[in-house]
Amino acid sequence: MNAFGRPFAAVALASALATACASPGAPPGGPEDHTAPIILKVTPDSGATNVRSKNVTVTFNKVVSERPRTGNDLGAVMLLSPSDGEAKVDWHRTAVSVRPRKGFRPNTAYALTIVPGVSDLRGNVMTRARTFAFSTGASIPHGVVRGAVFDWITLRPAANALIDATVGGDTTLRWIAKADSAGRYTLPFLPAGKYTVRTIIDANQNGRLEPRELWDSVTVDVADSVRLDLYAFTHDTLGARIIGVDVKDSVTMRLTFDRPLALDADFSPEQVQLRRADSSLVRVRSITRAAAFDSLARERAEATRDSAIRADTTVAGRRALAQRDSARVIAQRDSIERARVEARRAARDTVKRVKPPEPGRVAITAEFIALLEEPLPPGEYRLTVRNVLSASRVRRTSERTFTRAKPAVKKPAAADSTGRKLPGATAPATRPPPAPVTKPPATPVSKPPPMPAPR
């Protein structure tokens, strides 16, 4: 190769190497990471006493995101308890530091809870909560309040509900926690005393109680360990007002209020007055919660259908009985198969499956069923409900007027030229058959005389 060809060969070799480096293969930095961040250490150490640090620092094995999967910032997943306001949270790539708004108080035990939601830059999320405790004094108390939060109307566990506890009238210092995905919560490391424990179902995730948000509060003495379930509902200063009357049949009415009633106060027939247009009284025999009434009505309807099917000995009846029994067998088989699938899935799952909490109360409701002593004929009525107690512990009297219309009369359907009935058509008026026409007797016609023969 001459001297002029050597530079071109060098350029060709460099180009080939660049092309080889740019060819598809393993991405730079090794294989893609799918693991969640891991906590390497917490400073001060969990369980430490006589701490003099100005903040608590959590160090991870990788860079974490400033925007967690849940909440607007890291303050939503780093809960420092007790709290004197919004904590100061600083991000340092692989570490996060937290300190109280006014600094750590002397002789106070603190708990830092890292709730699920912390993620790395690839979106891998921590799914388990971790709690670390330390004290600026000589000891860490062992009082704890644990339980579950429920929506009292639906009785469903309230995932991610906020919980706080205060002592006496001091609301500047709050012990705080957050419920998990199953509605369970734990308030640990509480000094002995009387606490007001409150929960908020934080719909807009702003950490504050807003109007119409569901909440509950209970006062409890804490010496060691206390079990406390909380039932959240909308509180207000107005009592329950009757807003709907639905006449189901001649002796059954569904009453609807604009807010649920209290469970521990009887809603009796004496509190309900139903008057006709002439002011005469229609007596109410009983008042029942609508949910219980509807459940019993469904059971009775199912029993009635079952009895009717069994009593029908025709071919159609036997076919309906066989179809119903077949549907039950299929449903039972499907239920068994689903249970087997869940069991296999749970066996493969490395995370222990925990049974969701069960409420210890019945749901509050705004719907009730009133049964009357006598049938209710069509006409205008005025319903007055006196001194009903709402779930917010407010009594109120309200009334409502309504009209029960006459039941519509169904007209028989007409038939087409083939004799089939037309849906929605009105049968024509029946006419009497036409009278037979009588013909007069025929008059005999005389024949003319024969013509004489020509001569």
pLDDT band of 24, cuts 50, 70, 90: very low
CATH code, 35-140: 2.60.40.1220
What average pLDDT does range 293-319 have in this prediction?
Answer: 73
Of the pLDDT bands very low, low, confident and very high (cuts 50, 70, 90), residue 29 is: low
Q: 141-235 has which fold?
A: Immunoglobulin-like (2.60.40)
Report how far residue 277's alpha carbon sits from residue 358's, in angstroms, rounded to the nearest whole number: 48
User: In the prediction, which pLDDT does 21 show?
Assistant: 44
426 vs 198: CA distance, rounded Å:
64
pLDDT range class, residue 435, cuts 50, 70, 90: low
- Structure confidence at residue 90 (pLDDT): 94
At 234-263, the pLDDT tens digits run 998 999 999 999 998 889 999 999 999 998
Residue 382 vs residue 265, higher pLDDT: 382
- Per-residue b or e along 93-119, where b marks 16 or more CB atoms closer than 10 Å to that residue's CB: eebbbbbbeeebeeebbbbbbbbbbbb
Q: pLDDT category, 440, cuts 50, 70, 90?
A: low
Which of 165-174, 187-196, 436-445 has the weakest average pLDDT?
A: 436-445
The per-residue pLDDT for 445 is: 52
Domain 35-140 shares a fold with domain 242-317+360-404: yes
**Dihedral over alpha carbons 61, 178, 146, 354 (to 10 degrees):** -70
Computed on alpha carbons and rounded to an integer, the radius of gyration of the chain in Å comes to 40
pLDDT tens by residue, 388-420: 999 999 999 999 999 998 877 666 665 555 555
The CATH-assigned architecture of domain 242-317+360-404 is Sandwich (2.60)
- Which range (37-46, 163-172, 374-383) has the least confidence? 163-172
pLDDT > 80? residue 349: no
Tokens coding 37: 């961040």
The edge-to-edge listing of strands for the beta sheet with 193-200 is 170-178, 162-167, 193-200, 215-222
End-to-end CA distance of the chain: 160
Over residues 106-122, the pLDDT tens digits come to: 999 999 999 999 999 99
- pLDDT winner (highest mean) among 134-148, 320-334, 342-356: 134-148
Residue ranges of the domains in the chain? 35-140, 141-235, 242-317+360-404
How many CB atoms neighbour CB 12 within 10 A? 10
Quote the CA–CA distance of 197 and 144 in Å, as a whole number.
12
Dihedral over Cα of 233, 239, 243, 249: its sign: positive
Q: Which of 58, 59, 57, 107 is nearest to 82 (CA)?
A: 107
Give CA 406 to chain center in angstroms.
39
Nearest to 55 by CA among 112, 106, 97, 94: 97
pLDDT at 12 over 80: no
Res 2: pLDDT:
46
